Amino acid sequence: MYCDPRFSRVREAFERNFAEGEELGAAVAVYQDGELVVDLWDGVADRHTGRPWEADTPAFAYSCTKAVAATVLLRLAERGLVDVAAPVADVWPEFTAGGKQRVTVEHVLTHSCGLPVIETPVPVTEFEDQPAIAARLAGQTPLWEPGTAHGYHALTYGFLVGEVVRRVTGKSVGELVAAEIAGPLGLDLWVGAPDDVIARAARLKAPSRPAPQNAAPETPAPGNADSPAGGGRDLLAEMSRAVLDPGSLMNRALGNPAIRLLEGGANNPVILRAGWPAAGVVTTAKGLAGFYRALVGGDVLASATLQDALRPRVSGPDRVLFMDTTFGLGYMRPSFTFPMPSKTAFGHSGMGGSLGMGDPDRRLAFGYVMNRMADSLTGNLRGLRLVEAVHRSL
């Protein structure tokens, strides 16, 4: 383990999370100016066996995957293989069904295409067949006019992005991550983990009060597509009703494909191996931070491409999450649901508390993974405390 003395506040915050009983096992890593300045881990990777968390222990990080998938698609756009402003149907002709002829790739990347729900239940036998799941979405009609509103596409985001990538390259997001990003950069990061990685992955502990979510951002509480935020309504009451209603948009968006149908949930090898591009990354904290180090350093995307992708495209009331969200092209930007100390930060959080973040102005990259899932629908502050400690160290 290592912590540059300048970042001792990060070590203190990390140790405090354990001392206060908020962690089982966890790791945090920070790069500044391309240099690894924090690389800490502690606790147990498996509470049943007592297996300790090691330097190379990876963890399933839920929606942290979305930023990785967006980066793969943006790399294709850089090469001229995809036009972000063009209709999805240009590369995926079947997508025109249901009046989606004008839905663009940008609509998909910004959660504004109106397809946050897979309308028919996805059987467990289809969990590893991403093209089959994407075909279900291709036949649907948007829940709102694309481009007129946005709502968090918790799981469908990945199947949509993944199919665009597959139609252009013939390969999955996970294959391109391995071949073009994680492999060349030497990152312990997989979208679809091999068996040897699955064997040493941390085992997640479900929250004591399980949240009906599969891949929501860490901080927000989900809501109802027909009830955007604002208007002086009692949002807390509406959130509570949505949680309890099996037919609410929140439960339908976050619960299909239903990870809970598998023994062990997200610990099941089927999920770890499937490589869903919205919720499928298995990574170490150092691997996640290394991904953002490469983004900030211009090793994965050209600086101009990244800067354009970080420009907020949608912001304000989210039709699936009650709270305000802000997105660039696939990346979360500072908002109520991504409360960063710096206005230039970007990244993505994952259900339970995992968090990846980059900050071009401060030349920072941050990764945090853990196995004790958050108890609350509104997430927890463990990762945010660590981010704040990094900024205080500066």
Taking alpha carbons only, the member of 322, 300, 286 closest to residue 77 is 300
- Under 8 Å between Cβ of 60 and 287: no
Q: Which one of 8, 63, 349, 354 is the catalytic residue?
A: 63
Cα 53 from Cα 201, distance rounded (Å) = 9
pLDDT class for 207, splitting at 50, 70, 90?
Answer: confident
180 within some domain: yes
Mean pLDDT calculated for residue range 247-251: 79
150 within some domain: yes
Cα 182 from Cα 215, distance rounded (Å) = 22
Per-residue pLDDT tens over the stretch 354-365: 999 999 999 999
Give the list of residues 6+ apart from residue 129 with CB closer than 8 angstroms, or none. Answer: none
63 flagged as catalytic: yes
pLDDT class for 378, splitting at 50, 70, 90?
Answer: very low
Taking alpha carbons only, the member of 318, 147, 145, 332 closest to residue 239 is 318
Distance in Å from the first CA to the final CA of the chain? 21
Residue 60 DSSP SS3: strand
Give the containing element (helix H, strand E) for 157.
helix 156-169
Beta strands in the chain (DSSP E): 2-3, 25-32, 35-46, 51-52, 59-60, 189-191, 281-283, 314-317, 324-327, 346-349, 355-359, 364-370
What does residue 127 show for φ and ψ, rounded to 5 degrees?
Answer: -60, -30
pLDDT class for 229, splitting at 50, 70, 90?
Answer: very low
**Cis? peptide before 257, omega within 30° of 0:** yes
What does residue 196 show for φ and ψ, rounded to 5 degrees?
Answer: -70, -30
Whose tokens are 């149907």? That residue is 89
Measure the CA dihedral 284/69/349/278, to 10°.
-100
**What is the number of domains present in the chain?**
1
Cα 56 from Cα 297, distance rounded (Å) = 23
pLDDT above 80 for 81: yes
Mean pLDDT calculated for residue range 113-142: 97
1 within some domain: no
21 within some domain: no
Taking alpha carbons only, the member of 163, 118, 165 closest to residue 141 is 118
Q: Residue 154 is part of a domain; what is its CATH number? A: 3.40.710.10
15 within some domain: no
Please report the pLDDT score of residue 52 as a whole number. 98
pLDDT class for 253, splitting at 50, 70, 90?
Answer: confident
To the nearest whole number, what is the mean pLDDT of the chain?
91
281 within some domain: yes
Give the list of residues 6+ apart from residue 339 with CB closer than 8 angstroms, or none. Answer: 219, 384
Mean pLDDT calculated for residue range 208-236: 44
pLDDT class for 195, splitting at 50, 70, 90?
Answer: very high
54 within some domain: no
Rg for the chain, CA atoms, rounded: 19
Please report the pLDDT score of residue 241 as a whole number. 74
Cα 108 from Cα 85, distance rounded (Å) = 11
39 within some domain: no
pTM for this prediction: 0.93
Rounded to whole angstroms, what are the CA distances from 113 to 108, 134, 155, 338?
Answer: 5, 14, 13, 21
Cα 118 from Cα 128, distance rounded (Å) = 16
What range does the domain containing 202 cover? 59-285+301-359
Measure the CA dihedral 156/160/162/166, to 10°.
150
- Under 8 Å between Cβ of 238 and 227: yes
Please report the pLDDT score of residue 375 as a whole number. 62
- Under 8 Å between Cβ of 288 and 145: no
Please report the pLDDT score of residue 203 as a whole number. 98
Taking alpha carbons only, the member of 145, 147, 149 closest to residue 229 is 149
